[in-house]
Amino acid sequence: MKISKAVSGFLCLASFATWAHADELVTVNYGGVVGEAQKRAWVEPFAKASGISTTAVSYTGDQAKIKAMTSSGDVTWDVVEIGSQNLGRGCQDGLYEKLDWSKIISKSALSSEAVSQCGAGIFVSSTVLAYNPTLVKGTPSGWKDFWDVKKFPGKRGMRKDAHYNLEIALMADGVPTSQVFKVLATKEGQDRAFRKLEELRPNIQWWEAGAQAPQFLAAGDVVMTTAWNGRISAAQKEGNKNLAVSWRQNIADLDFFVIPKGTKRKEAAEKFIGYSVGETGQKAFAGQISYGPVNKAALKALDTKTLENLPNAPQNAVDALTEDFAFWTDNGDALDSRFSAWASK
């Protein structure tokens, strides 16, 4: 059967388009203001500087998609943002490539927490107590006040996840930040955390996407919420005055970039990660959203106004709880299952 020149040309173009798309570096983030900040600070500048076609898509953070890709061998994502609680488990399960740091950046340029076998820390965030000052009388400070529905009546927003909530529950129950993971590592401590959560259950409104926390708060659906500090800061910059933050007992954590096992664009992925954690990329990102640099030189170079809203600013880290990555690697599966069963009752 003869193929016309027009059809033949179309097939060639279609083939080229498929190849071009397949050759594009795909980075994956949590979307919203974080995704936009990454696009402006990393994705677009990297593509321009490197000549590598790069795009960004968003996901919920669920690792099932990565598992499905690596199992089937059809890996279409090249660089993926993950939470620290998934780093150790995903690395052990073979979901991520081992990083060749010699092709990324000198390890000494980054904070020690940002350097791991399978992931590169990309920014420091904090889970904070955020509140609507028009809906509460007084100023809540710390997680004990979060639980005090008599003094501060109204709904509380919480992320529907074991991670952070168990630590928060123990701090609300009087456990000092320095002892939280020591207590949570015991069965008695875990039971204690769930009992404390049960006390608050009638007043909880769950959120799952980061953008929901400031939305619930601004709309008056909740009077307080756990929230990622950058999400609150971004909403404040957009003119929302009904949002305030207590930094007391905030939980400082890192997000990481990983490379899914089996990507055909590992070299380009390493270059992208290197750009993202370099001084220029880190300074640009901190200027877009209030998350702290993991690059030491970038942190030192920030002006006072930018620094004051970051989790790793000295005044904001006074009594912060630093997330324990190893704890969640060892205990995450069991605690996630227990939390899911509890939350669904």
pLDDT tens, residue order, the chain (345 aa): 333 433 333 333 333 233 335 589 999 999 989 999 999 999 999 999 999 999 999 998 889 999 999 999 999 999 999 999 999 999 999 999 999 999 999 999 999 999 999 999 999 999 999 999 999 999 999 999 999 999 999 999 999 999 999 999 999 999 999 999 999 999 999 999 999 999 999 999 999 988 899 999 999 999 999 999 999 999 998 888 789 999 999 999 999 999 999 999 999 999 999 999 999 999 999 999 999 999 999 999 999 999 989 999 889 988 999 999 999 999 999 999 999 999 998
Element holding 291 (H helix, E strand): none
Q: Are strands 244-258 and 119-131 parallel, antiparallel or unpaired?
A: antiparallel
pLDDT of residue 5: 38
pLDDT of residue 239: 85
For the chain, helix, strand, coil in percent to 5 are 50, 20, 30
Q: In Å, what is the CA distance from 200 to each residue of 159, 226, 293?
A: 13, 13, 34
For the whole model, what pTM was predicted?
A: 0.86
3-state secondary structure (DSSP) of residue 209: coil
Residue extents of the structural domains in the chain: 5-124+254-312, 125-253+318-343
CATH of 125-253+318-343, one of 3.40.50.2300, 3.40.190.10, 1.20.120.450, 3.40.50.1100: 3.40.190.10
Domain 5-124+254-312: which CATH class? alpha beta
pLDDT of residue 242: 87
pLDDT of residue 22: 57
**Separation between Cα atoms, residue 103 and residue 97, nearest integer Å:** 13
> Helices (DSSP H) in the chain: which residue ranges?
5-22, 32-38, 44-50, 64-72, 84-92, 143-147, 162-172, 180-184, 187-200, 212-219, 229-237, 266-277, 279-288, 296-301, 304-307, 325-343
3-state secondary structure (DSSP) of residue 123: strand
Q: In Å, what is the CA distance from 281 to each residue of 38, 144, 234, 293?
A: 9, 38, 19, 9
pLDDT of residue 237: 87
pLDDT of residue 17: 34
**Separation between Cα atoms, residue 155 and residue 153, nearest integer Å:** 7
**Separation between Cα atoms, residue 283 and residue 32, nearest integer Å:** 20
pLDDT of residue 240: 83
Equal CATH topology for 5-124+254-312 and 125-253+318-343: yes
- Cβ-contact 73, 309 below 8 angstroms: no
Q: Are strands 79-83 and 25-29 parallel, antiparallel or unpaired?
A: parallel
**Separation between Cα atoms, residue 80 and residue 94, nearest integer Å:** 15
